[in-house]
Structure 1
Amino acid sequence: MIDNSMQQLNFIRPGTLEWHEVSAPRIENGGQAIVKPLAVTRCDLDLYIANGTIPMKDGPFAFGHEIAGVVVEIGDEVTCCKPGDKVIVPFQINCGTCKNCRAGFTNGCTNVAPFSAYGLAQSSGVEWGGGLSDYINVPFANAMLVKIPERLSLPVAAAISDNASDGYRTVAEPLRQRPGEDVLIVGGLAQSVGLFAVQAAVALGAGRVFYSDFDNGRLKQAKALGAEILERRYARDMPTDGQFPIVVDASNIPEGLIYALRSTAACGRCTGISAPGRTMDNIPLASMYMKGITYEISRVHARAEIEKVLQCACDGHLRPQDVITTHVPFAQAQEVMTDPDIKLVFEAS
């Protein structure tokens, strides 16, 4: 039986998060489920919201969105799971039935407000709750929830709800189209996504995998994951390190993006996982045009990618646990959210 109230971690302002007592969610229609979060990995974005690098209006709003947990209650139309099942909760809210969802474009569900997600109420203007809470409501349970195979840990499952899947999709389709090609991953502020991309590129049979960054810790991690490392501090006119058919920009730095685009080979593909600025000068459009490269920038279609990543993890080809660096109890999330470590996981007691 769910209590009437619960604890929820809220973003208040940069550097300040607080636990608040709030009303617990309830089943409001037959398609919903209530999930108790058991493991919540810190998205790269969470760090920069919490420390103020990415500006957000002052809260409060619920925080945390990479969620694995256990189903505690379901509506009478839910068939995908039952109470007691352990599940991944995709961070984006998606209905599963609109045109975009049916096409696999689950980051653009048209039956909810644009950019709807857990832990990011300011993006959509709708408060969906957050992973760092006693319970969350899953509004489209049959479309959203994915059972966790017994062989996978809860922290791994939580990472797959967003960042691990994000890293995977940046290289999976390019390598499907061009098997065995070399890959350059431009690392930086999207720190775990870049490392998940390294791991996926190696697992999916890339030729040589190169990883550039200015941070020694991430460079060491990338090398351990199988990449050849390039210690680089990104600057506007820095020389490239060659031309690569497949490039990933995980720098979230304008100069990093320019380096990534200039490093993309003729007819190659560069995928950006974040926007390094609301607007940017000096994008090398002329050379991009002459080389005929494809540049894609998008949020991950989380629900559409999860099962592919789960399969790779179950097969042992992907080991998201090797990117997770620190395990922390839920109760300490307020104090350590701004720790610069690469990938934190918060675990319920």
Structure 2
Amino acid sequence: MQRLMLTGPGEMRWEEHPEPELTGPNQALVRPIALATCDIDPAVLRGQFPLPGPYPFGHEGVAEVVAVGDDVRTVAVGDRVVVPFQISCGTCRACLRGRTGNCTSHPRLSSFGLGQLGGLDWGGLWADLVLIPHADAMLVPLPAGVDPVAVASASDNIPDGYRAVGPQLADNPGAEVLVIGGPAAPSIGLYAAGLAVALGAARVVYLDDSVERLEIARSLGAEAIEGARDTRVGRFPITVESAGGAKALRAAIDATDYDGVATSVSVQLGEVPLPIFDMYTRCCTFHTGRAHARPAIPVVLDLVAEGRFDPSLVTTRTATWDEAVDALLETPIKLVATR
């Protein structure tokens, strides 16, 4: 079979690789049919993120099940499924608590397509076939009528956007939301804005200096405001920082209201001082870290199936399988490749 390898900044190639085989009764083999870029992929391809390769590429996508082990019950051959990017067993204490990104049955951070960071043995999703170690725990069937291309990013970035607003709005229905958008996690910030609208936020403000991202935010139903990352636009019970850097992170925290929740979905590669005393006086909750994607996937798929949220509005480029490498090297906000 063929799989796509990232060999260095701006360098990718297809390589021949032995086909994976079922070796356990809980496993499945899937054939990816719609693959998406993650927000860190453009930075990796530009040499701006410390994940240089070589490694099998890709960790977001929808696939078709082509084989299942004897004990698999929740998916069958022919099903179309979202493949979570993190490896999770579904039975350890962390998985049972919904912390599937910290599954204790495998080495920490185990995931598809993230090189040494996630473990090379899992491979990447940009391949002809992929082995799923825990099919019942991991794979999420696509609801009827949902386009695989629209939800190709449901493996990671869409759930990442959901975790920044969904639980918070459940605790504070109808709250106002601020998303500080930017280049570090551009699609996650946009997904967060669109999901906040879908979940009934009274007001969703999306602040950014990119005309392209502002237009997407408007199409998702958010109030788009052009400005610098630290432009003061009020105080909000729920804030999301997706721009990257200390300036945006501090701005999100400063904009968080009393008893509010600020979530950073970007990866901060440097040290960032926090205004702890101000956060203390406002009882401000701050959260950062990887999203536990698997528990949120059914929720976001239902929102899409119900017509309340359209993630395809965030996709800025689609390509065929044969066009994939050239399209990837153009580093669009969100690329989806299909076959």
TM range, smaller chain: over 0.9
Give the secondary structure class of the aligned counterpart of 2:121.
coil
Match of 2:159 among 165, 188, 205: 165
Match of 1:261 among 253, 256, 279: 253
Equivalent position of 1:106 in the other structure:
100
Deviations 1:136-185 (A, max 9, x none): 00000110111112210111232212111111121111111111111100
Q: Is the 8 A contact 1:160 1:306 kept in 2?
A: yes
Equivalent position of 1:3 in the other structure:
none
Deviation at 1:239, TM superposition (A): 5.1
Equivalent position of 1:211 in the other structure:
206
Deviation at 1:127, TM superposition (A): 2.5
Query: Which aligned pairs between 1:106-255 and structure 2 lie closer than 5 A?
Result: 106-189=100-183, 190-234=185-229, 238=230, 240-255=232-247
Give the secondary structure class of the aligned counterpart of 1:157.
coil
Equivalent position of 1:275 in the other structure:
267
Q: Does 1:48 align with 2:49?
A: no
**Aligned partner of 2:236: which letter?**
F
In 2, distance between residues paired with 1:213 and 1:338?
Answer: 24
Q: Does 1:296 align with 2:291?
A: no
Show structure 1 runs of 4+ deviating over 3 A. Answer: none
In 2, distance between residues paired with 1:209 and 1:264?
Answer: 14
Match of 2:21 among 26, 38, 41: 26
Equivalent position of 1:286 in the other structure:
277
**Aligned partner of 2:207: which letter?**
S
- How many corresponding residue pairs? 338
Gaps of 5+ in 1: 1-5
Give the secondary structure class of the aligned counterpart of 2:22.
coil
In 1, distance between residues paired with 2:13 and 2:206?
Answer: 37
Q: Does 1:336 align with 2:330?
A: no
Q: Does 1:310 align with 2:305?
A: no
Deviations 1:64-123 (A, max 9, x none): 111101111111111111211111111110000000001111111000111111111221
Which segment is superposed worse, 132-141 or 148-157?
Answer: 148-157
Give the secondary structure class of the aligned counterpart of 2:192.
helix
Deviations 1:320-343 (A, max 9, x none): 112112210122222221324221
In 2, distance between residues paired with 1:23 and 1:170?
Answer: 39
Equivalent position of 2:316 in the other structure:
325
In 1, distance between residues paired with 2:316 and 2:144?
Answer: 22
Deviation at 1:317, TM superposition (A): 0.7
Q: Percent identity?
A: 39
Deviation at 1:312, TM superposition (A): 0.9
Gaps of 5+ in 2: none
Deviations 1:218-243 (A, max 9, x none): 01111121111222223xxx452211
In 2, distance between residues paired with 1:231 and 1:268?
Answer: 24
Q: Does 1:37 align with 2:32?
A: yes
In 2, distance between residues paired with 1:340 and 1:329?
Answer: 15
Deviation at 1:251, TM superposition (A): 1.0
Give the secondary structure class of the aligned counterpart of 1:185.
strand
Deviation at 1:311, TM superposition (A): 1.0
Root-mean-square deviation (CA, aligned residues, Å) is: 1.3
Match of 1:94 among 88, 93, 96: 88
Which segment is superposed worse, 253-262 or 271-280?
Answer: 271-280
Give the secondary structure class of the aligned counterpart of 1:304.
helix
Q: Is the 8 A contact 2:207 2:227 kept in 1?
A: yes
Deviations 1:176-195 (A, max 9, x none): 11111111001012111111
Give the secondary structure class of the aligned counterpart of 1:23.
coil
In 1, distance between residues paired with 2:310 and 2:224?
Answer: 20
Q: Is the 8 A contact 1:156 1:320 kept in 2?
A: yes
- Please report the TM-score for the alignment, with normalisation by the length of structure 1: 0.94
In 1, distance between residues paired with 2:231 and 2:16?
Answer: 53
Give the secondary structure class of the aligned counterpart of 1:229.
strand
Deviation at 1:297, TM superposition (A): 0.7
Give the secondary structure class of the aligned counterpart of 1:159.
coil
Q: Is the 8 A contact 1:12 1:60 kept in 2?
A: yes
Q: Is the 8 A contact 1:62 1:127 kept in 2?
A: no
